[in-house]
Amino acid sequence: MNVYDFDGTIYAGDCTLDFWKFCAKNNPKVLVALPGALIACLQFKLGVKSREQFKERFYHFLRYVPDVKKQVELFWNTNYRQIKPWYYERRKHDDLVISASPEFLISEICEHLKINYIASKVDYRSGKLLGPNCRGEEKVRRLRLIYPNATIEEFYSDSKADNPLAEMAESAYMVKGNLIESWRF
**Burial letters 162-184, b for 16+ CB under 10 A, else e:** bbebbebbeebbbbeeeeeeebe
Beta strands 116-120; 96-102: pairing state = parallel
Task: Determine contact, residues 120/101, Cβ cutoff 8 Å.
Answer: yes
CA–CA separation, 139 and 119 (whole Å): 8
Average pLDDT over residues 101-127: 97
Q: What is the pLDDT of residues 27-85, one digit of tens each?
A: 999 999 999 999 999 999 999 999 999 999 999 999 999 999 999 999 999 999 999 99
Confidence tier at 185 by pLDDT (50, 70, 90): confident
Alpha helices by DSSP H, listed for the chain, are: 15-26, 34-45, 51-58, 68-79, 85-90, 103-113, 137-146, 163-168
**Radius of gyration over every alpha carbon of the chain, rounded to an integer in angstroms:** 16
Work out how many domains the chain is built from and give that number: 1
Domain that holds residue 121: 2-182
- Its pTM stands at 0.94
Q: What is the CATH number of the domain that holds 171?
A: 3.40.50.1000
DSSP states of 77-104: HHHGGGB-HHHHHH--TT-EEEEEEEHH
Segment 136-165, tens digit of pLDDT: 999 999 999 999 999 999 999 999 999 999
Residue-level pLDDT at 134: 97
What was the pLDDT predicted at 127?
95
